[in-house]
Amino acid sequence: MEWPACLDEYEKLVRRMNTPRVVIDNAVCANATVVKVDSARKHGILLEAIQVLTDLNLCIKKAYISSDGRWFMDVFHVTDQSGSKLTDESVISYIEQSLGTCNSTTTNGFKDLTALELTGTDRLGLLSEVFAVLADLQCNVMEAKVWTHNGRIASLIYVKDCLSGFPIEDSQKINRIEGRLRNVLKGDNDILSAKTTVSMAVTHTERRLHQMMFADRDYERRSRTEATTVTPSVTVQNWAERGYSVVNVQCKDRPKLLFDIVCTLTDMEYVVFHGTIDTAGNQAIQEFYIRHSDGSPISSEAEKQRVIQCLQAAIERRTSEGVRLELRTSDRWGLLSDVTRTFRENGLNVTRAEISTLEDMAVNVFYVTDTAGEAADPKIIKAVRERIGSGILKVKESPSRMYENKGTRNEAAPTVGGAGGAVLLSLGSLVRRNLYNLGLIGSYS
């Protein structure tokens, strides 16, 4: 294991002695696999643990988080995407090894690719123009993720040179890529805020997208169409006696919700000391006891409002609007340029995209709306599918919709009435559920 250069020999010894202990149990809970992690506490370790689980597309249905001095304990109730316990021994072994070394898969397997980071004002056909430029410059897109929120777009695109098959390292070509993409992003009205970066750095894609959107201050903007959507409920209260700020979140449950929230708190330099996460039906209720990294709670009303705005934005970024289209076909140079141009010519706007290649196959997911951000006309979707190939472009159900459908059982989600209710819910949960139940996890189901 490679240690950071800043660690002295004593710190390395302490970390070796405090290797996280991981227990995975399928007998404790009737409807989920329980993953328990005990470790020395350090900033960001909670996010690392959640990242390991969510990168495997596991669903975290319940969780307890607790810290005591230099130690922390996390307990996660997880299932696979079908709602079943984990039975694949290779998956269980991977979780044990990854959590046991605090070594989440941050690279996403993109070591041998060039990363392009793009932010700017979203508009109809922008993605089509971006992929057309890359195709013209002989760049083969191997992986990409695109998020849009509040009229902004952020994208991480991983490419290699079409001719050599290697990462792009030629400085002149990199300058051409940056310059042309920046011109596309600027359009006619985004001269100041459009940004492009070419990097060989390896990072976790989804965490980086959150950071890019945060740096772009998308949480301060609100577009006309998104202003009409349901805003997640987020409250922040101070528990002065114990020196914590208490964050409560209530919203629809969906994949990777916990990751998005904890990622944002971590990147805003807050430390989660205690927390409980619960799901009932299709609703998620999460509460966190946080402090600044220097140990102080939130100090002003303005800071509270900023935390609320940032968490609401983090939740909304991955809440995809529109029809989910899945493209599976043999990969080829210019494929994305052709497909997204067809979307543009038929008035379909891409609100989110996930591009990947598996060996020689392209596996691409697009969420599309009409030009006004409303549901696309089924006749247009049909026409687009016929033009691209109805056998390779199919309409698929969104994972978030699957969550909603599974949550239709008669299971009422707890509600909180006002700020006072939020504090009472938090205090009760911290004392009785988060601390006490951590020792008696077998009794909770």
Mean pLDDT computed over 302-320: 95
Mean pLDDT computed over 290-310: 96
Are 428 and 301 in contact, with CB atoms under 8 Å apart? Answer: no
Q: What pairs with residue 300 in β-bridges?
A: none
Tokens of 97: 């090894």
- Compute the mean pLDDT over every residue in the chain, rounded to the nearest whole number: 85
Distances in Å between the Cα of 174 and the Cα atoms of 49, 84, 133, 171 are: 35, 46, 13, 5
* Residue 211, Cβ density class (10 Å: 0-12 exposed, 13-18 middle, ≥19 buried): middle
Residue listed under structure tokens 């990363």: 115
Mean pLDDT computed over 24-41: 93
pLDDT score, position 276? 97
pLDDT at 335 over 70: yes
pLDDT score, position 278? 97
- Report the distance separating Cα 162 and Cα 3, nearest Å: 36
**Candidate from 1-10, 128-137, 214-223, 282-291 with smallest mean pLDDT:** 1-10
Distances in Å between the Cα of 345 and the Cα atoms of 5, 342, 441 are: 53, 5, 55
**What residues does each domain of the chain span?**
9-105+230-318+415-443, 114-222+319-401
Distances in Å between the Cα of 192 and the Cα atoms of 185, 219, 431 are: 10, 18, 49
Residue 101: band (very low, low, confident or very high) from pLDDT cuts 50, 70, 90: confident
Terminal Cα distance for the chain, rounded: 37
Are 249 and 284 in contact, with CB atoms under 8 Å apart? Answer: yes
pLDDT at 350 over 50: yes
Are 322 and 356 in contact, with CB atoms under 8 Å apart? Answer: no
Query: Which H, E and C letters describe the chain, residue by residue?
Result: CCCCCCCCHHHHHHHHHCCCEEEEECCCCCCCEEEEEEEECCCCHHHHHHHHHHHCCCEEEEEEEEEECCEEEEEEEEECCCCCCCCCHHHHHHHHHHHHCCCCCCCCCCCCCEEEEEEEECCCCHHHHHHHHHHHCCEEEEEEEEEEECCEEEEEEEEEECCCCCCCCCHHHHHHHHHHHHHHHHCCCCCCCCEEEEECCCCCHHHHHHHHHHHCCHHHCCCCCHHHCCCCEEEEEEECCCCEEEEEEEEECCCCHHHHHHHHHHHCCEEEEEEEEEEECCEEEEEEEEEECCCCCCCCHHHHHHHHHHHHHHHHHCCCCCEEEEEEEECCCCHHHHHHHHHHHCCCEEEEEEEEEECCEEEEEEEEECCCCCCCCHHHHHHHHHHHCCCCEEEECCHHHHHHHHCCCCCCCCCCCHHHHHHHHHHHHHHHHHHHHHHCHHHCC
pLDDT at 407 over 70: no
Best-predicted range by mean pLDDT among 42-51, 83-92, 161-170, 218-227? 83-92
pLDDT at 374 over 70: yes
Residue listed under structure tokens 């609401």: 312
Measured over the CA atoms of residue 62, residue 67, residue 68 and residue 73, the dihedral's sign is positive
pLDDT score, position 188? 65
Share of the chain above pLDDT 70, in %: 80
**What CATH class does 114-222+319-401 carry?**
alpha beta
Sheet holding 21-25, edge to edge: 21-25, 33-40, 71-79, 59-68, 270-280, 283-292, 244-252, 233-239
pLDDT at 35 over 80: yes
What is the pTM (predicted TM-score) of this model? 0.84
Residue 404: band (very low, low, confident or very high) from pLDDT cuts 50, 70, 90: low
pLDDT score, position 112? 83
Q: What pairs with residue 145 in β-bridges?
A: 156, 354
pLDDT at 413 over 80: no
- Report the distance separating Cα 218 and Cα 238, nearest Å: 26
Over residues 247-296, the pLDDT tens digits come to 999 999 999 999 999 999 999 999 999 999 999 889 999 999 999 999 99
pLDDT top residue among 13 and 382: 382
Q: Which of 66, 99, 74, 78 minimizes the C-alpha distance to 29?
A: 78
Angle at 258 between CA 256 and CA 259, to 5 degrees: 65
